[in-house]
Structure 1
């Protein structure tokens, strides 16, 4: 095969030599395309697999860890929560509406493929500088397109989008991040897996017809943006949420029929990945008759059929003799369903086109010989240049407070969250786009699942390992602040170009941090995704591991709110303030720098805080709780005040008023309704605390030297972001 064709498929010379050994011959174009997709970064994790080994993945309540479509945990009463987060970064930058919409569609399929009804969606979004003279206009276009796409898909499917996080930095000017999370609920015995086993069992294609959209998507997602590949719209899939709604209902009905062995959605690399993964997990072989695949475009060939990433499609392994029942279910839901092959024990993937064998690939060797790269790593040179930094407040404390409140990284994002239907299905207990974790009600046993999402890219830029630790801890703390017990995480590891040895060092350290934090905090990783090549020209994004923690509150009636409720409530700050300005928002706003050294993390203090919040919730001694995050206690209190419409009159013990904006971890703001029991419990646990004051009837926000009418504070907080996008 000519070098130009091999290079076009992103196959290296060493990889091509390995292909020749596996096949004992030259591949044809179809086979090369299939192997290219399976060995792409997106599908094979060839750069990252080395560092993913050793993630803590087990706990008594973990039913399914990494390796399936989604992770599964036991939530009691024979119920299971199924969840995962995944990226759709490159497609969303190329075509924001379609890219973001199909990102939601893909993660929804990952969850309902496991047998669960999807009950909640969330997202983590990173955009560039919307104030930049050159990039700002396009970034605003991206924000609007991405949000519209997410809202369109989730709303049309009738799945609530109950929260998320959104931030802005110029490092994302050339490569935004769109990470989509989905969670579903099912009975433990109803969990299904992606397998194809049993000689003679049939392979059924179900769902929408196949088109040419999405061709090469997995390979595109495994490359950085540059002048050569900037026109990539044909690789972005087009989604149809109404078809997916039908597909989900058909699959959930199918799962009750006892007709199938396994099922897999056709995601990245389409029919290629789904067929190879199902057969590979089962140690089976498979015959596929590609001319039987339903198509919506004329003249499609085997190469296009195997690599198309058309949406809303499933591959099913059905028990022989039950295929008629399977086809009838999909016909009822007005969806295509066709027998396109069968399972055998050959260990090969045999592809036929009008009875002619056009592809013959051994399955196990293709999986086992998939490249695992040992890329060189090197500590980034910039780290030595940014470590010496000491923040000093140069402006009047009230002025910097207002500047921070106006900033797009603090300002209310109701423009985004109002587009999402958060109450459909009537399970949503808490859908905060600004404060803490979100929560859904489990009607079957009156428990609640709390979901916290976290990704602070600045902290990961300063220290990729400690930044990743903080992401895990912060996501768990958000969950703990609802009164729930943090149980497990799913992660989406967004990094730059792995061919850059400094990026690989960042990735390696990020994985070390996640392993250490999950192991020490007892929150195993049950699913996840790696997204590399997030680079445009020579600009790599900041390391951005997105962490989602899912926790359980056994009595949904006790769920803690994140904002104040009443006047005359005592307000306490829990945890130590260490003068942590490294990577802080105030240093970015005042000095326009991302610098500093992160302190070592105190896991024991974090676990104590989680335990206190869980017990305080159970004893019903708190009115509200909120993790102190970006912008420090000043921004945390300001948001709680604006959202609750309750005034504050508080005083800290800080001599240096800059400490109002520093970002020490392991802290929470709590409103106390039973002060005697609160003091007794917190004293017994040895957690540092300080009484700030009380909520008031007076419509004022007073915090040390900061004083603002509540109406003015709300005006600044609620109006600026929408105006920025005009």
Structure 2
């Protein structure tokens, strides 16, 4: 693992040699607690954070509750972001809200409200006003693009510096309404033999990824590739597919990139996946990059033709990634073992 640290202006993906041993990267990243789905408030024990938590939750970080009296089900999730608020607060905020909204839509819930809390703004620093103003623009623009009401927004200034430098952070909460039970979609793969598709474009981008930060030790790089109009198109596509009941699972490509998104989908039902990377994209960017605007969906073979027809009408980029296996994980004909090997103690 490299200990090199680059600055944002200097960094380019060309500085990172394309890796030959994907298995080494996978098992190095497995110990990264940021890639585990953990609900801390459901467990007050003293047990340490473990990668065994990856993908355990069927709702994948989204809390569901029922309103008493009328049976309406609601969903809520909270997300935080600190990358580049000091240099590009508008884009950073738009990325955060896009991620949160896409996750809700993949679940089958319809987001309708967002609240935001901007933390650790230095009251004495002139850049504090720039961060607050940019985050406000990002919040308002993303809310308008995704049809969200802004329910609340607050800012917390730091008046003292004794605690040392603390990066500005924005925390947002998304509220959504959950449809009837039969329309509920979760991230987990359902059946061996289901086909796996990627919706959205793959790019040679590893910026601000866990792979770049944790494996290569490069903590400063630009924000991941992001275009809010592409995000809107992808989010409309997932709503259409769920409405037509053409998919059995859906996951936004998130932390850890495509590979760890697949892993979180495979673990709950002890399934695996056999995939072929895009030949036009670097393997590390394809598998571990965290560029925006991508989804992974599982499709029953009986509905594949309908799925392809629907996607052709939607006119959003998509491609076949592979299929769900009984438990083996294969990348480009290379076996990484079985799903039970992907947890601590295996």
TM-score, normalisation: structure 2: 0.83
Q: Which of structures 1 and 2 has the bigger CA Rg?
A: 1
Return the offset for 1:624: 0.8
Secondary structure class of the residue paired with 2:154: strand
1:443–1:576 Cα change, 3 Å:
farther
In the TM superposition, 1:278-357 aligns within 5 A as none
User: Which residue in the other structure is 1:618 paired with?
Assistant: 243
2:48 aligns with: none
Distance in 2 separating the partners of 1:403 and 1:456 = 24
Gaps of 5+ in 1: 1-383, 421-430, 720-726
Structure 2 vs 1, CA of residues 443 and 700 (structure 1 numbering), >3 Å: closer, same or farther? farther
Structure 1 residue 415: deviation in Å? 6.4
Seen in structure 2, the aligned counterparts of structure 1 residues 676 and 658 have a Cα distance that, compared at 3 Å, is: same
- Take 1:595 and 1:576, find their aligned partners in 2: how far apart are those partners? 24
SS in 2 for 1:626: strand
Q: How does 1:230-269 map to 2 (within 5 A)?
A: none
Match of 2:336 in 1: 707
Asked whether 1:689 is paired with 2:283, we answer no
CA distance in 2, matches of 1:516, 1:614: 21
Match of residue 656 from structure 1: 282
Q: Secondary structure at the match of 2:33?
A: coil
Q: Is the 8 A contact 1:621 1:672 kept in 2?
A: yes
Q: Does 1:386 align with 2:8?
A: yes
CA shift in 2, pair 1:528/1:556, >3 Å? farther
Cα distance change of structure 1 residues 653 and 564 upon mapping to structure 2, 3 Å threshold:
same
**1:669 to 2:296 alignment:** yes
Deviation of 1:710 after TM superposition, in Å, equals 1.3
Structure 1 residues 581 and 538: CA distance shift in structure 2, 3 A: farther
Counterparts of 1:500-511 in structure 2, within 5 Å, are 500-511=125-136
Deviations 1:277-302 (A, max 9, x none): xxxxxxxxxxxxxxxxxxxxxxxxxx
Please give the secondary structure, in 2, of the residue aligned with 1:629: coil
Unaligned stretches of 5+ in structure 2?
Answer: 1-5, 46-55
Mapping 1:128-143, distance limit 5 Å = none
C-alpha change, 1:481 and 1:623, in structure 2 (3 Å) is: same
SS in 1 for 2:101: helix
> Does the alignment pair 1:549 with 2:171?
no
Q: For residues 44 and 155 of structure 2, what CA distance do their matches in structure 1 show?
A: 28
In structure 1, distance between residues paired with 2:128 and 2:163: 12
* Residues 37 and 60 in structure 2, CA contact (< 8 A), matched pair in contact too: no
The one of 188, 196, 220 equivalent to 1:563 is 188
Separation in 2 of the partners of 1:646 and 1:702? 12
Alpha-carbon separation, structure 1, partners of 2:63 and 2:222: 31
CA contact (8 A) 1:491 1:547 kept: yes
Deviates more, 1:501-510 or 1:462-471: 501-510
- Looking at structure 2, the residues matched to 534 and 595 of structure 1 have their Cα atoms a distance apart, in angstroms, of 26
Count of residues paired in the alignment: 323
Q: 2:124 — aligned with what?
A: 499
Higher RCO structure, 1 or 2 (CA under 8 Å, sep 6+)? 2
Aligned equivalent of 1:577, options 202, 207, 211: 202
CA 503–387 in structure 1, closer or farther in 2 if over 3 Å, else same: farther
Provide the rounded CA distance (Å) in 2 between the counterparts of 1:405 and 1:636: 12
- Residue 117 of structure 1 corresponds to which residue in structure 2? none
Instruction: Please identify which structure carries the higher helix content.
Output: 1
Distance 2:59 2:212 in 1: 21
CA offsets per residue over residues 651-688 of structure 1, 9 Å max, x none? 12145211111111111111112212211211111111
Matches within 5 A, 1:355-374: none
Query: Any idea what the Cα deviations from partners look like across 1:150-173, whole Å, max 9, x if unmatched?
Result: xxxxxxxxxxxxxxxxxxxxxxxx
Separation in 2, partners of 1:415, 1:643: 19
2:131 and 2:33 map into 1 onto residues whose CA distance is 27
Q: Secondary structure at the match of 1:637?
A: helix
